[in-house]
Chain A
Amino acid sequence: MKSLKLISLSAIIILILGGIPHLIAYGDLTDNVINTEGDIIEEVSSSDTVEVLKVEQSSPYAPLLGKWKVSWDSEEIKGSAIYQIKEVGETIKGFSVKLFDEHEQSMNDNTHVFTLKSFKDKKGKGIYKLDYEGEGYEIPCKIELITPNQLKVSYDYYGYADTEIWNRVK
Chain B
Amino acid sequence: MIEFLSKKLEWLDVEYWFTVFNDWSLIYLIIPFFIIELIRYKFQGRLNKDLIFDSVANVLTFGAFYVIEIIIGILFATKLYFWVYANFSLPHLPLNWATVICCVLLADFAYYWEHRMMHRIGIGWATHTVHHSSPHFNMSVAYRFGPLDAVFPLFFSIPIVMLGFDPILVLLSELFVQSFQAILHTEVIKKLPGPIEFIFNTPSHHRVHHGSNRQYWDKNYAGILIIWDRMLGTFEPEVEEVKYGISEPINSNNPFTVFFHGLQRLSLKMTRVKGIFNKILVFIKPPDWRPK
How many B residues are at the interface, by size bracket?
Answer: 20 to 34
> Which residues in window 9-25 of A have CB below 8 A to B?
9-10, 13-14, 17-18, 20-22, 24-25
CA distance A11 to B232 in the complex (A): 12
CA distance A93 to B98 in the complex (A): 31
Interface assignment of A133: CB less than 8 Å from any CB of chain B? yes
Query: How many residues on chain A are close to B (CB under 8 Å)?
Result: 22
The minimal Cβ–Cβ distance linking A152 to chain B, given in whole angstroms, is 18
The minimal Cβ–Cβ distance linking B7 to chain A, given in whole angstroms, is 9
Q: Which of A22, A134, A156, A158 contacts B164 (CB 8 A)?
A: A22
In the complex, the answer to whether A17 meets B5 with C-beta atoms within 8 Å is no
In the complex, the answer to whether A158 meets B98 with C-beta atoms within 8 Å is no
Interface assignment of A75: CB less than 8 Å from any CB of chain B? no
Interface assignment of B74: CB less than 8 Å from any CB of chain A? no
The minimal Cβ–Cβ distance linking A15 to chain B, given in whole angstroms, is 10
Across the two chains, which residue of chain B brings its CB closest to A26?
Answer: B91
Q: Most chain-B CB neighbours within 10 Å: which of A6, A20, A21, A158?
A: A21
> Which residues in window 1-38 of B have CB below 8 A to A?
2, 5-6, 10-12, 15
In the complex, the answer to whether B11 meets A158 with C-beta atoms within 8 Å is yes
In the complex, the answer to whether A9 meets B232 with C-beta atoms within 8 Å is yes
Interface assignment of A28: CB less than 8 Å from any CB of chain B? yes
What residues on A are CB-neighbors of B90 within 8 Å? 18, 22
What residues on A are CB-neighbors of B188 within 8 Å? none
With A21-B98, A159-B15: A13-B109 Cβ-Cβ less than 8 Å = yes
In the complex, the answer to whether B98 meets A1 with C-beta atoms within 8 Å is no
> Which residues in window 185-235 of B have CB below 8 A to A?
231-233
Q: Which of B11, B86, B91 contacts A22 (CB 8 A)?
A: B91
In the complex, the answer to whether A28 meets B6 with C-beta atoms within 8 Å is yes
Interface assignment of A89: CB less than 8 Å from any CB of chain B? no
Interface assignment of A37: CB less than 8 Å from any CB of chain B? no
1/0 contact string of B82-108 vs chain A (CB within 8 Å): 000010001101111011001101100
Q: Which of A14, A27, A135, A157 contacts B106 (CB 8 A)?
A: A14
Q: Which of B94, B95, B96, B106 contacts A17 (CB 8 A)?
A: B106
The minimal Cβ–Cβ distance linking B155 to chain A, given in whole angstroms, is 14
What residues on B are CB-neighbors of A28 within 8 Å? 6, 94, 96
In the complex, the answer to whether B93 meets A21 with C-beta atoms within 8 Å is yes
> Which residues in window 31-54 of B have CB below 8 A to A?
none
1/0 contact string of A27-53 vs chain B (CB within 8 Å): 110000000000000000000000000
In the complex, the answer to whether B15 meets A21 with C-beta atoms within 8 Å is no
Interface assignment of B117: CB less than 8 Å from any CB of chain A? no
19 sampled A-B residue pairs with Cβ under 8 A: A6-B232, A6-B233, A10-B109, A10-B113, A10-B232, A13-B109, A18-B160, A18-B164, A21-B93, A21-B96, A21-B98, A22-B90, A22-B91, A24-B5, A24-B6, A158-B11, A158-B95, A158-B168, A159-B12
Given A14-B159, A25-B99, A158-B168, 19 additional A-B pairs, CB 8 A = A1-B232, A6-B232, A9-B232, A14-B106, A14-B109, A17-B106, A17-B109, A18-B90, A18-B106, A21-B96, A21-B102, A22-B90, A22-B93, A24-B6, A24-B98, A25-B91, A25-B93, A28-B6, A158-B95
